[in-house]
Structure 1
């Protein structure tokens, strides 16, 4: 396990120039290729400079490996949506730019990427209640010529949280929310014979329940060894996060017929009324938007989430199904209370975050507001176990010493695990770059504390691989 590079290489990386992000309109450029600039192998690592990313806000970037090549999607220094393709055998990097430009400071506008079973690359992103931005490559195992394309032409005016998902048969699906926060339905498209179609006549997760408008914040579906997908959902009433009110759980094999933890079968769309309730926290009880779901060694779901405890402090809870319903345990509470309320992406220091939920070991990593990350422990399951099939393998922790420039709004080193496109599991590769903190999805001010926040330099992007 290697945490950083030797000082000599760290100094070389720190000498790499930082360029200011351009503000011009997107340029429709053809694929550009170059010989990869890489450093000599040191300390068992191989480092390749991919390009430069706009560093103005934390945005989700994906990295994939397929048939020996690496693919990374990002917003370049000019904020244009770009796909870098690296072929190690030829030491060649090709960058393809899509005619979509990140125009604001909204960290919801992440990028998602997937290969279909025939090897064609699909990319979606740069959306928050925005018209659909979707692109596909015209040839397999290559990003060359990737361009914007239509999908089905319905429910595509206000798209948020796009994600690609393979169903139990290996078909590529596209899930997203159509509508706004507090009033948006989740739908799914399916790719068959190269054409997209709506999976069913209705929604996956509804935009209303018996009490009025709602919107769902589901976890990524987690597939077990039997092909069943498990999903936890946080429900919200309005765009204000204070109106998060319930955690639900359902599972499915076809994304049309669902099952609660009790075994009760329900037909979609899922609502707060028919989704199996895990915790009816209620409005104004500090329920966080992002829950985490993983499977234990018996394929049973374990859900971690946050809400206020009895004293009103931010706290972390773990829920698992039992014979009498859901067994819920509070793991720990923060020292201070930070109100869960408002719209837009909150700064890292104001959020209780959950990561690395591992039911087999009985551990979860938690960061309370204005505190350092800590590992919390809970009782792992007892009885016969089998290896979980939830893709929770951890990538090898390899990293380059990429320095953070001064003058940004709480910048962090971003580390993106390279995912194997076939298995969906992390590989030993890591993509690294830096980006500054979110500011409620608004432009940050350049002030004495962060003089570069409103005009951030571009970040070098490095692919770090074991030599």
Structure 2
């Protein structure tokens, strides 16, 4: 059960006069930078909890502790400091030999990468100047660690800038401690005129990796267009939804287009998320403008020969008319569809800060209504004070979470003042 549901159930029971179970356990980790949001990293193993974050002085820091109750934190500060850019989120992973890997502070920047030399020991971190190709690794953004089908460690990133970038994948060998290129070419090539923005690849219940993305012509966020999809069993060989091979690198002309949303059509990067129905079919959640000019949530599902596209929301008067560069203070976030035993799909969204569950019929994707939703941040709100003008951010992993308040993104620009640091907390159910 997701930690948000566990905590919500615990709080409801705590409010009841018939039962007084213990509240969720919340412990302080450190004081952290709160001037703008940039995602921190949480990694859990069978025995350890690892958190990577920017401390009160903006310095990249790793803290670890055993999962045992009452265990002490071990801290290590790394030679990297963040500025005002919300793109500079942190990626972290633990390989099969127990070494910790951290990549951070990248927005069209040279590689910032640290790894331990003694398994699980944050005080043995060393800086690594290059992974595979030092010349290529000079304009990196969006670092992501993931696992291949065999559990091997994969790292991906964008090479180049917004409107002109390629997607690069590397593979790690724990026996040698070295990285190598997973693919002979970039996964996707913007041909010097555009780049692709991905969410995923998402491992599916069918044993395959599913990838959805949008294309962008320029740094202007309004120039996203053409929702696309590909699928793979090994992250090396990719096909369209109908099974036809996709030669690499994938270009706009060759891509499997799901919905040809035009430039300035109301579709934004990072909001094309994949979920699955009970038949293991992928369903892409995204948003775009409709004829009356409003922004609405849509679902797309491959149904044998075609993409079935259905509108999942019916919001009167809501339009998110975004544009420009830098990190946006987003009005809308979407998650992947989740199926229940009653033949319905739940699509969780957050609109202007309010969580909403959209309900659709699993068989037809027809709308069945909406209801208020609950996020982990909402559940923690009575327990963790959030200063005015800030939001409570959370990251979850394997039954635990971290939570910390910050100001929202400010298009990667400095603000007129610097707020006091806030407390980064560990949340245990």
TM more than 0.5: yes
Cα deviation, 1:30-62, whole Å, max 9, x if unaligned, reads xxxxxxxxxxx9824333211111011111112
1:170 corresponds, among 151, 176, 196, to 151
Gaps of 5+ in 2: 1-5, 12-19, 365-374
Residue 247 of structure 1 aligns to a residue in which SS?
strand
Question: Residues of 2 paired with 1:300 and 1:61: CA distance?
Answer: 31
2:65 and 2:74 in contact (8 A); partners too: yes
Q: For residues 325 and 88 of structure 1, what CA distance do their matches in structure 2 show?
A: 47
Alpha carbons 2:212, 2:274 under 8 Å: kept:
yes
Equivalent residue in structure 2 for 1:267, among 232, 247, 259: 247
Compute the displacement of 1:126 (Å).
0.8
Identify the match of residue 122 of structure 1 among 84, 90, 101: 101
Give TM-score, length-normalised by structure 1: 0.80
Residue 318 of structure 2 aligns with which residue?
336
Query: Kindly tell me: are residues 341 and 396 of structure 1, through their superposed partners in 2, closer, same or farther at Cα, counting changes over 3 Å?
Result: closer
- Which residue among 244, 254, 269 is the counterpart of 2:234? 254
C-alpha separation in 2, matches of 1:333 and 1:179: 38
Q: Would you say the 8 A contact 2:101–2:114 is kept in 1?
A: yes
The answer to whether the Cα contact below 8 Å between 1:313 and 1:333 also exists between their aligned partners in 2 is no
- Corresponding residue for residue 221 of structure 1: 201
1:59-458 correspondence to structure 2 within 5 Å? 59-89=38-68, 91-102=71-82, 104-150=83-129, 151-152=131-132, 153-192=134-173, 193=175, 194-208=177-191, 213-290=193-270, 291-334=272-315, 335-348=317-330, 351-355=331-335, 357-360=337-340, 361-368=344-351, 370=352, 372-381=354-363, 399=380, 401-406=383-388, 410-417=389-396, 419=397, 426-427=398-399, 429-445=400-416, 454-458=417-421
Task: Please state whether the residue corresponding to 2:159 is helix, strand or coil.
Answer: strand
Which consecutive segments of 4 or more residues in structure 1 shift more than 3 A?
Answer: 1-6, 394-400
Higher RCO (C-alpha 8 Å, min separation 6): 1
Shift of 1:372: 2.8
8 Å CA contact 1:363–1:378 kept in 2: the answer is yes
C-alpha distance in structure 1 between counterparts of 2:7 and 2:154, whole Å:
37
Pairwise CA distance, 1:340: 2.6
Q: Give the alignment partner of residue 56 of structure 1, picking from 22, 25, 35.
A: 35
Match of 2:370 in 1: none
What is the rounded CA distance, in whole Å, between the counterparts of 1:364 and 1:225 in structure 2?
A: 18
Deviates more, 1:158-167 or 1:358-367: 358-367
CA 206–65 in structure 1, closer or farther in 2 if over 3 Å, else same? same
Conserved in 2, the CA contact under 8 Å of 1:308 and 1:315? yes
- CA distance in 1 between partners of 2:108 and 2:184 (Å): 22
Contact 1:111 1:123 in 2 (8 A): yes
Q: 1:3 to 1:324 in 2, by over 3 A?
A: closer
SS in 2 for 1:340: coil
Contact 1:2–1:397 (CA<8 Å) still a contact in 2?
Answer: no
Q: Aligned partners of 1:5 and 1:297: how far apart in 2?
A: 29
Instruction: Evaluate the alpha carbon distance shift between residue 42 and residue 331 of structure 1 in structure 2; reply closer, same or farther with a 3 A threshold.
Output: closer
TM-score by length of 2: 0.86
1:209-242 CA distances to partner (integer Å, 9 max, x unpaired)? xxx6111111111113453110001111111111
Structure 1, unmatched stretches of 5+, are: 7-40, 383-393, 420-425, 446-453
Distance in 2, matches of 1:458 and 1:395, equals 22
Q: Distance in 2 between matches of 1:283 and 1:397?
A: 34
1:146-172 CA distances to partner (integer Å, 9 max, x unpaired)?
Answer: 121131224111100000011112211
How large is the RMSD of aligned CA atoms in angstroms? Answer: 2.4
What is the rounded CA distance, in whole Å, between the counterparts of 1:124 and 1:133 in structure 2? Answer: 6
CA distance change for structure 1 residues 125 and 42 in 2, over 3 Å: closer, same or farther? farther
Contact 1:48–1:464 (Cα < 8 Å) also in 2: yes
Instruction: Indicate conservation of the 8 Å contact 2:406/2:422, yes or no.
Output: yes
The separation in 2 between residues aligned to 1:258 and 1:46, in whole angstroms, is 44
Partner-residue secondary structure (3-state), 1:92: coil
